[in-house]
Amino acid sequence: MIKTLKICLTSFFFFFLSFQNLKAQDDKLIEKRIIKLNTINKIKVNYNSLVLQQIRKFEKRKSFPKTMGLAEFYFPLFKAKLDQYGLPEELKYLTVVESNLKSKATSRVGAQGLWQFMRPTGRQFGLYENNKVSLFNDPVASTDAACRYLKYLYKELKNWELALAAYNCGIGRVKKILKKTGKKSFWQIINYLPKETQLYVPSFLAVQYLMNFYKEHKIKPYTFAVAFREVEIIKAKRNIYIDKIHFLNQRDKRIFIFLNPHIKTGVIPEGTYYYKKRIPLSRR
């Protein structure tokens, strides 16, 4: 009995050592990939235990393959807007952390849309909502507002990690901590920030890593039904009743509803911009 127990404990010990060794090798591979990624990106990924922890968290998230499918659709829009405002392309990954790329996402504190704008901040950057339309959920309008907001935060803080922290917990709080501590970087003030913000920036960096090395982590993105290049932007010349729009099939109607999360009722008000998939000539 005692001999059997010793054998079991010895086996477990060697298994544990083997597991730890494999984990260390895997962590080393991640570090090498991050070094490679940092040669091309503008917002550098800091390799540390917090970022590594968030990489493990996101790679295990069951919804991540679907999120990557949505990224195929939304990221061309985000890139175009970020380029327009002269901002780093990596900022597109912020939407994964904020909303998991769900255009109708609403947080427990009322933040809305892909970029999770709170109402006061959203209104400050031109977003509005009434009983028919919510620009907080409009992919194009909210992305434009997010770009202007992020540009303002960076102009004020001169550091992207600090700007991202401010996006999460407010620029006033970040400035106050910087003044109080005399520190100049996110990692120097991390322990003074709210717990959510302490993980927010590492989460963004982890997503940036995983989106570039998902194949190495055996993540298979979903294939999405439509590409953003197939979408046209139209201004309604009159009130349009969605039920009266001719759709080729129910699938096309579902795509139309997906493309227009900012329309709150069955009517697109006159003067409102809406989005529609171009119909190939062969199907007209």
Where does the pLDDT of residue 4 fall: very low under 50, low under 70, confident under 90, or very high at 90 and above? low
Of the candidates 278, 167, 177, the residue with the CA atom closest to the CA atom of residue 226: 278
Beta carbons within 10 angstroms of residue 191's beta carbon: 9
The pLDDT tens digits of the residues spanning 154-168 come to 999 999 999 999 999
With pLDDT > 70 as the criterion, what percentage of the chain qualifies?
89
In angstroms, the CA 95 to CA 90 distance is: 10
Asked if the structure places residue 249 within a domain, the reply is yes
Q: Of 167, 188, 217, which residue sits at a domain end? A: 217
- Rounded to an integer, the average pLDDT of 233-246 is 96
- Rounded to an integer, the average pLDDT of 206-227 is 94
Asked if the structure places residue 71 within a domain, the reply is yes
Where does the pLDDT of residue 15 fall: very low under 50, low under 70, confident under 90, or very high at 90 and above? very low
Q: Are 128 and 233 in a shared domain?
A: no
Of the candidates 142, 174, 173, the residue with the CA atom closest to the CA atom of residue 159: 174
What residue has token string 């390799």? 47
- Rounded to an integer, the average pLDDT of 240-247 is 94
Q: Are 102 and 212 in a shared domain?
A: yes
In angstroms, the CA 55 to CA 29 distance is: 13
- Tell whether the model's pLDDT for residue 70 goes beyond 90: yes
What's residue 248's pLDDT? Answer: 85
Range of the domain at 163: 49-217
Question: Residue 235 phi/psi, 5° resolution?
Answer: -100, 125
- Tell whether the model's pLDDT for residue 12 goes beyond 80: no
- Tell whether the model's pLDDT for residue 270 goes beyond 50: yes
Distance, CA of 85 to chain centre:
18
Tell me 274's DSSP state: E
The pLDDT tens digits of the residues spanning 97-146 come to 999 999 999 999 999 999 999 999 999 999 999 999 999 999 999 999 99
Q: Are 237 and 258 in a shared domain?
A: yes
In angstroms, the CA 127 to CA 22 distance is: 49
Q: Are 78 and 185 in a shared domain?
A: yes
Q: What is the DSSP string of 50-95?
A: HHHHHHHHHHT-TTHHHHHHHHHHHHHHHHHHHHHTT--GGGGGHH
Where does the pLDDT of residue 6 fall: very low under 50, low under 70, confident under 90, or very high at 90 and above? low
